[in-house]
Amino acid sequence: MADRYNPQVIEHLVRPRRVGEVSEASGVGESGDAACGDVARFSVRIESKVLTDVRYKVYGCAACIAAGSALAELVNGEPLLGAARVSKQDLQEALGGPLSLGKEHALTLVLDALHKAFEDHLNREAGDILVEGYGGAANSGAKGVVAAMSGGVDSAVTALLLKEAGYEVVTVTFRLHDGEKGSRSCCSPDTVLFARDTAHRMRLPHFTLNLKELFNKRVMRDFVGSYRQGRTPNPCVACNAHVKFHAAAFLADRLGFKKVATGHYAKVADGPALARPVDERKDQTYVLWPIPRELLKRAIFPLGDYRKTEVRRIAEERGLAVAYTPESQDICFIPDGDYRGYVRKKVKVEPGDVVDREGAVLGRHEGVVDFTIGQRRGIGVSASTPLYVTEVRPQTNQVVVGRRQDLEVREVRVRGLNWFLDPREARFVQVRYNSAPVACEIEKGEASGEWVARLAEPAAGVAPGQSAVFYTGDGKRVVGGGVVASRET
Amino acid sequence: MEHAVYLDNAATTPLDQRVLEAMLPYLRGGRGNPSSLHAAGAAARDAVEVARGAVAAMLGANPEEILFTAGGTEADNLAVLGLARAASPEKRHVVVSRVEHAAVREAARRLESEGFEVTSLGVDADGLVDPAKFAGALRPETALAAVVWANNEVGTVEPIEELAQICAERGIPLHADAVQATGRLPLDVGEVPVATLAISAHKLYGPQGAGALYVREGIPLEPLVFGGGQERGLRSGTENVAGLVGLGEASRLADRELEERAWHERRLRDRILAGATAIPGVRVNGHPEKRLSNNAHLTVEGVEAEGLVLFVDSLGYAVGNGSACASGSAGHKASPVLLAMGRDEREAFSSVRVTVGKDNTDEEVEGFLEAFSAAVARLRELSPLYTRVES
């Protein structure tokens, strides 16, 4: 059924404002596609963090044309931060009230095009540093913070708590890969749109940064490469090491802000050192160890003082729609959880032998990428006692299996260390996510940059590629961390 | 605001004043139920029968072959569902074209859920059904076929006579939706052996809410509405007397004025086609000759239909954007008719339907062309999908 439009909509349709393209634009953004029926394009010129010129074009229904016109008029001449805060509600008001059912998407479409123009501007400014990596620059002491916003409850409450604590909060969502749920379809909910909506409901400016190239280079390719080399990668660690904090710091530097925040469950102790959060079950210090010290100095993790149940309650009390979003999955770029399938699509996989420690062939396997140290299922060899994968040898395409006690190690070699405290403070090491730390003593290894942890009791299933994170004697603070090195044969 | 110039006659036609005059006595006073024995009832019954005679005369049918309904959609539903359900049990197959009005398309879909197999017959780029392909789709177990006489969107006129002959030879009933064809094409069921045919009063300068289904004598039909047994038990319910009187008068006038209306419409329509296609990137959809006298269906490159319709509306001209759409919502679907003709979704979303009527004037058409051209220019300036064609 055709619905009637507000007179403001018709007015904007018949006399659209600010139509066209900005010459020598700072950023250009486009949203929607023709098959879907609507396309919006915004171009902006940004000088001294002010939108000095905004132009738009729309192919689409009357609501889209009018929404584009109203938005261009609203943000032209505004400071960038003010413009990034303009919400669907603001736009709706400018159009004389709610649009008819099924037309609200017009607001989303034009806002998305404008925000993509901002993103284009920021990515242009970043140039290669958001591809090659960013270490941070000198920054002022303003009480401003860039809060990373994934669209989930944790990051939303993070931004909210900071705002309530008096910070000037700017939110940012990173485009990391093309596999986000729904991102292929222009009309379905997209995590970026959801995150933006959440930020705007809190009256916070929202930006996006395109980090796909950086993420692909530092996280996804490493993920596939690790499996091929018989290691068990942790992509969240790689992302924290090279992507997320660097990008947030980049944006903070552009805005003259000092701090960056994420919704991780961890604390920053003096040092700075990473410290365990109040909610031990949600502890994410194990994946945060690679944050460079300079960035940890700038980091705030407001959720370190809260339990997850409290976080959800806060979201509910403040009426955040994200209160009910499900827990995020292990690996964000493999939403179906089938990471073996993912790896198999990326690399050539060949069958090989399943052997015992002595080299006797016990069976065949379909590819080393299917195996991880400590694995018991899917070995395909029957034996009187349960068999475990004890080693993966990509060079000879062999999977070595053995008994449970064969898995146990007394010594873990660690490389690529990032120390927050003096290494001599290390008393415990954690070698798997959510496993109990084991008492240890550490010393420098033979290879350069390598450290060896001697365990007080044997640990099973220590897989090369996973992280080894060292904690202080009280178990509360992270001394440093590194990556478990491969066994040498 | 003064009334807009109305160029959306395929959606509904304005009520003819003569039709209104004929209806008024039945709205004002003397409200009898045609089923009552008393004089008021008899008068109402007579009025309904006069209307039936007028409709029958327009179609070349016997009055007993005319069933009154509450409109075209009901007539189409009654035909498609009624013919299928009345067919012998082994006949579980239905053929419909891919350019049917939703009233037929959705009724066929309903039959599918009842276990009928439905063949959706494609059309060529102009929207025409190929009689040979049509014949090929028919089977011994085909319960009915349905093809629109003239398409409601692009105005293409189908070879109904040939299709009806093919069906008649095989004893398969053919339903023709003639809602748009009525009053524009001479319809004669004596020459065209359709089994059933649907018409609607409000596309004929009559009132909304009245229609009829022609059912050839001897064709079995299952009713959809049960009750007091009106309309030979095939459509129970007290008759909409004033509405049917309106339908009758509208039919009588349409029959009498058919040629001059069609000639007038065609002249205006051709002017619109010529004027609109003079704008670069504007194309006509539907068959160049075999099309309704009043239909100009245009694809405007780079411009979405809704904005265009509302833009020219703001300038005082009412035209249609084909099938109603709710952009971005689940209802935002490209017209199945245009897709069946091989147009892509972007073309479908960029199409408008301009349909003239008997009362439109040359000045109105010239004024429209000016408004249309201004709107297209403005919206193309706005469109990121349109790059100016080199002139």
B279 plus B355 within the same structural domain: yes
Domain boundary among the residues B230, B254, B278 is at: B254
- Looking at residue B3, its pLDDT comes to 67
Angle among Cα A279, A283, A286 to the nearest 5 degrees reads: 165
B242 plus B340 within the same structural domain: no
Number of domains in chain B: 2
- Looking at residue A138, its pLDDT comes to 52
Lowest mean pLDDT among A337-351, A424-438, B67-81: A337-351
B203 plus B323 within the same structural domain: no
In chain A, residues with a C-beta closer than 8 Å to the C-beta of B328 are 36-38, 61, 102-103, 105-106, 109, 187
A153 plus A302 within the same structural domain: yes
Q: Express each pLDDT in B250-268 by its tens digit.
A: 999 999 999 999 999 999 9
- Looking at residue B333, its pLDDT comes to 74
B28 plus B131 within the same structural domain: yes
Judged against a pLDDT cut of 80, whether residue A193 lies above it is answered with yes
> Is B374 an 8 Å CB contact of chain A?
no
A335 is a domain residue:
no
A332 is a domain residue:
no
Domain boundary among the residues B233, B254, B275 is at: B254
CB A53 within 8 A of CB A45: yes
Mean pLDDT of B101-126: 97
Lowest mean pLDDT among A109-123, A302-316, A366-380, A390-404: A366-380
Q: How confident is the model at residue B325 (pLDDT cuts 50, 70, 90)?
A: very low
User: Measured over all CA atoms, what is the biggest interatomic distance in chain B, rounded to whole angstroms?
Assistant: 75
Nearest residue in A to B302, CA atom: A59
A132 plus A273 within the same structural domain: yes
The Cα A225–Cα A238 span in angstroms is: 13
Contact B327 A38 (CB under 8 A): yes
Q: How confident is the model at residue A395 (pLDDT cuts 50, 70, 90)?
A: confident
A89 plus A147 within the same structural domain: no
B40 plus B166 within the same structural domain: yes
> Is B388 an 8 Å CB contact of chain A?
no
In chain A, residues with a C-beta closer than 8 Å to the C-beta of B302 are 59
| Bigger pLDDT: A190 vs A226 | A226
CATH number at B227 reads 3.40.640.10
- Looking at residue A374, its pLDDT comes to 86
**pTM of the full structure:** 0.82
Q: Express each pLDDT in A80-104 by its tens digit.
A: 999 999 999 999 999 999 887 778 8
Closest by Cβ to B384, choosing from A37, A41, A62: A41
Residue whose C-alpha is closest to residue B355's, from B158, B176, B151, B207: B151
Q: Write the CB contacts of B283 (distance below 8 Å, at least 6 apart in sequence).
A: B277, B298, B299, B301
A195 is a domain residue:
yes
- Looking at residue A150, its pLDDT comes to 87
- Looking at residue A60, its pLDDT comes to 86
Lowest mean pLDDT among A167-181, A304-318, A321-335, A417-431: A321-335
Closest by Cβ to B385, choosing from A20, A59, A102: A59
A421 plus A480 within the same structural domain: yes
Nearest residue in A to B301, CA atom: A59
A184 is a domain residue:
yes
Contact A37 B328 (CB under 8 A): yes
B391 is a domain residue:
no
Domain boundary among the residues A389, A406, A423 is at: A406
B183 is a domain residue:
yes
The CA-atom distances, in angstroms, between B3 and each of A37, B158, B221 are 30, 35, 44
B268 is a domain residue:
yes
- Looking at residue A184, its pLDDT comes to 41
Q: How confident is the model at residue A9 (pLDDT cuts 50, 70, 90)?
A: very high
Place of tokens 């006129």: B157
The DSSP secondary-structure symbol of B154 reads T
The Cα A275–Cα B176 span in angstroms is: 78
The CA-atom distances, in angstroms, between A235 and each of A132, A154, A214, A221, B286 are 18, 19, 13, 10, 56
Domain with B318, as residue range(s), is: 5-12+258-382
B389 is a domain residue:
no
Judged against a pLDDT cut of 70, whether residue B331 lies above it is answered with no
Mean pLDDT of B377-387: 88
Domain boundary among the residues A47, A81, A115 is at: A115
Angle among Cα A28, A29, A31 to the nearest 5 degrees reads: 160
A315 plus A202 within the same structural domain: yes
Judged against a pLDDT cut of 80, whether residue A185 lies above it is answered with no
CATH number at B330 reads 3.90.1150.10
Percent of chain A past pLDDT 70, that is, above it, reads 92
Q: Which of A65, A95, A105, A111 to probe by mutation at the B interface, max B CB count within 10 Å?
A: A65
- Looking at residue A182, its pLDDT comes to 46
Q: Express each pLDDT in A351-369 by its tens digit.
A: 999 999 888 999 999 888 8
> Is B385 an 8 Å CB contact of chain A?
yes
Instruction: Name beta bridge partners: A412.
Output: A453
Helix axis angle, B241-277 to B362-382, nearest 10°:
60
Domain with A66, as residue range(s), is: 7-115
The CA-atom distances, in angstroms, between A80 and each of A106, A194, A396 are 22, 21, 57
Closest approach of A182 to chain B, Cα-based (Å): 15
B246 plus B347 within the same structural domain: no
A444 is a domain residue:
yes
Give contacts of B 50-69 with A, CB under 8 A: none
B32 plus B170 within the same structural domain: yes
The Cα A98–Cα A88 span in angstroms is: 10
Judged against a pLDDT cut of 60, whether residue B97 lies above it is answered with yes
B266 plus B222 within the same structural domain: no
CATH number at A430 reads 2.40.30.10
Mean pLDDT of A214-239: 90
B387 is a domain residue:
no
DSSP E strands, chain B: 5-6, 66-69, 93-97, 117-121, 142-148, 174-177, 196-200, 211-215, 282-284, 295-300, 317-318, 351-355
Judged against a pLDDT cut of 80, whether residue B311 lies above it is answered with yes
In chain B, residues with a C-beta closer than 8 Å to the C-beta of A7 are none
CB A260 within 8 A of CB A162: no
B239 plus B320 within the same structural domain: no
Active centre residues of B (catalytic): 325
Lowest mean pLDDT among A37-41, A162-166, A438-442: A37-41
B390 is a domain residue:
no
Number of domains in chain A: 4
The DSSP secondary-structure symbol of B70 reads S
Closest approach of B44 to chain A, Cα-based (Å): 35
The Cα B279–Cα B298 span in angstroms is: 11
Residue whose C-alpha is closest to residue A27's, from A128, A118, A163, A144: A118
Q: Express each pLDDT in A314-354 by its tens digit.
A: 999 988 877 676 666 668 888 777 888 888 888 888 899 99
Closest by Cβ to B304, choosing from A5, A61, A102: A61
Q: Express each pLDDT in B200-222 by its tens digit.
A: 999 999 999 999 999 999 999 99
ipTM field? 0.80
In chain B, residues with a C-beta closer than 8 Å to the C-beta of A37 are 304, 325, 327-328, 332, 345, 349
